[in-house]
């Protein structure tokens, strides 16, 4: 499935990928990893703030961690480590306003 097909399929809907804790931002990330990145069924990967470490360790060679938004491309996974659990979203674009647009939930 392409990223655009993923957006069309899930836009306006909540995803509870693992049937635990209700629909969380990490559930959207897991569905994206399964359906678009074709990594198969995704098990436990931790809270959003842990993904900068966990994804490269769980999927060697599949993820590269960059700090900041330089060089970001549509479909890249954005991880915020602030707050108790952090947040994860999928990058859409940065329009002329300079405000980053993402696909995310919760």
What is the b/e burial string over 61-87, where b = at least 16 CB atoms within 10 angstroms of the residue's CB? eebeeeeeeeeeeebbbbbeeeeebbb
| pLDDT at position 70 | 87
Percent of the chain with pLDDT over 70: 100
Q: What domains can you pick out in the chain, each with its CATH number?
A: 3-103 (3.90.1720)
Stated pTM of the model: 0.93
The arithmetic mean of pLDDT across residues 10-26, rounded, is: 96
- What pLDDT band is residue 69 in, cutting at 50, 70 and 90? confident
| pLDDT at position 96 | 86
The answer for residues whose C-beta is within 8 angstroms of residue 50's C-beta and 6 or more apart is 86
| pLDDT at position 22 | 95
Listed residue (51, 25, 29, 35) closest to 105, CA to CA: 25
């Amino acid at each position: 499935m392409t990223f655009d097909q993923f957006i069309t399929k899930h836009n306006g809907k909540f995803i509870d990928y693992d049937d635990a804790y209700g629909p969380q931002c990490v559930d959207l990330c897991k569905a994206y990893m399964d359906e678009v990145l074709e990594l198969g069924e995704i098990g436990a990967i931790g809270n959003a703030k842990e993904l900068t470490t966990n994804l490269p360790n769980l999927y060697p060679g599949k993820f590269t961690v960059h700090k900041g938004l330089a060089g970001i491309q549509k479909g890249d996974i954005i991880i915020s480590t602030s707050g108790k659990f952090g947040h994860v979203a999928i990058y859409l674009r940065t329009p002329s306003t300079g405000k980053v647009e993402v696909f995310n939930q919760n």
